[in-house]
Amino acid sequence: MNTRSLSIDPNVANPDVVVVGAGIAGIAAARTLIKQGVSVLVLEARDRIGGRAYTEQETFGVPYDHGCTWLHSADENPLSSLVRDKAGFDIFDFGKREPIYFVHRSRDGNQGAQRATEQEVIEIEKAEDALYDDLWGYDAVKNGDTSIHHLRPPRDRWDQLAQLRKGSFEAGVHSNRLSVIDYQTQYETGTEWMVPQGLAAGIFKALGPVPVKLETIVESIDWQGKDIKVQSSQGIITCRSVLVTVPTEIIADETLTFLPALPQEKMAAFHELPMGLLDKITLQFDPVFKSLVPDANTNEAYLETPKDMKQTDSWHSHLLCPFGEPMSTMFVGGGLARDLTAESGDAAQDFALSSLASVFGEDIRKLFRKGHKTKWLADPYARGGYAYSNIGKNHLREVARQPVDDRLFFAGEALHGKWASMAPGAYETGQKAANEIINSLL
């Protein structure tokens, strides 16, 4: 996806609205505003649009999503029809693919992992189902919020995997920091789709072009007077309303400043919505790689880790042979992802290779061709993958979203309840903010 081609002439003089950030929320809002005749200019710090939704195919020669990858709860997801019908992209029904498990049976865990037996798969699924039942059976109104980890502390290695799947592998944070209420609030229908041509590419093709000024870092928003002054690395822009779509921590730590400061309760809300971290280490192999697991085609694979491997998780998560390609994507989240951010790209690739070698043997290294690791924590305009709510603070997602003075508006995945941490959360809050802006300008 050529993200530059999805922007149109950014030389909009005195726009009604400035949108800070050209991710899904910002682009969705801008399209809604333009359709209603509102002049708008989107300011983006990077040299591309998309934010944490980014597809490119230069690295591996096939579409590769650096960020959001799944259409979660696709039967309810508002982006599903955009990607499939409006953009015309193909859909892969990931929900029909069964996970593959590799476990250690030797006492010291150093003799290589083997494919789980039918009985072991039953035990793994029982642990997953038990956690799921406890999560939905918990009466948070009566008992108050708690963490997913505290609700059902792991008692064996199968429980540990279930916790990792809810925590580091999905939310990018340890399950002892994940709110049960936040989990209960979100959509989870079980219908999961993927997009071979790239999820981000499909979303932005469907949304269409907007006026975007790239490589423009917004530093402050002065809303003291009648007009708002947006100070950026490219100068000052004056407008009537501003929509801010940046990640929560950029507001919380005042990298982006407001004059006057945002209300205290607003700032407190952003502080309670920190960023989780989920990165990908993607490896491309010789086509022979596909013969190692002949039945793998876009399957999750969970590998019990060997005892002598330096790591913080007892299991590793890989996506094997995505869309039939001789590739593997390792998902690393939470503390492990933070540790690997400090490592070189080669070290991260070697870590993922070592994980696979614990199952397939050291000869797999001979099949390796090239690799890539995302580093969302090191990206100053991302600060991580997506935001989670601290325990007991789920309600603050809406407090963070609420407009200030009918001139400052906010949107992003972190500010949605049911679609929190997911792409449709950004899309719907962007549209909602745009409609609020339209009403305020009338």
If phi over 0 gives left and psi between -120 and 50 gives alpha, with beta otherwise, what is residue 144? left
44 is in an annotated binding site: yes
| C-alpha span between 420 and 426 (Å, rounded) | 8
45 is in an annotated binding site: yes
18 is in an annotated binding site: no
- Which DSSP state fits 105? -
Pairing of strands 218-222, 228-232: antiparallel
C-alpha distance from residue 108 to each of 104, 299, 302, 306, 308 (Å): 9, 28, 19, 8, 9
258 is in an annotated binding site: no
Q: Rg of the Cα trace of the chain?
A: 22
Handedness of CA 393, 394, 395, 399 (dihedral sign): positive
* DSSP per-residue codes, 381-431: TTSSSEE-PPTT-TTHHHHHHS-BTTTEEE-SGGG-STTTTSHHHHHHHHH
Q: Which residue in this structure is represented by tokens 């934010």?
A: 51
Strand (E) or helix (H) holding 278 = strand 278-285
| C-alpha span between 200 and 54 (Å, rounded) | 5
C-alpha distance from residue 375 to each of 40, 118, 195 (Å): 31, 37, 22
C-alpha distance from residue 176 to each of 7, 147, 150, 273, 304 (Å): 41, 5, 6, 15, 21
Known binding site: residues?
44-45, 218, 331
Known binding site for substrate: residues?
331
Known binding site for FAD: residues?
44-45, 218
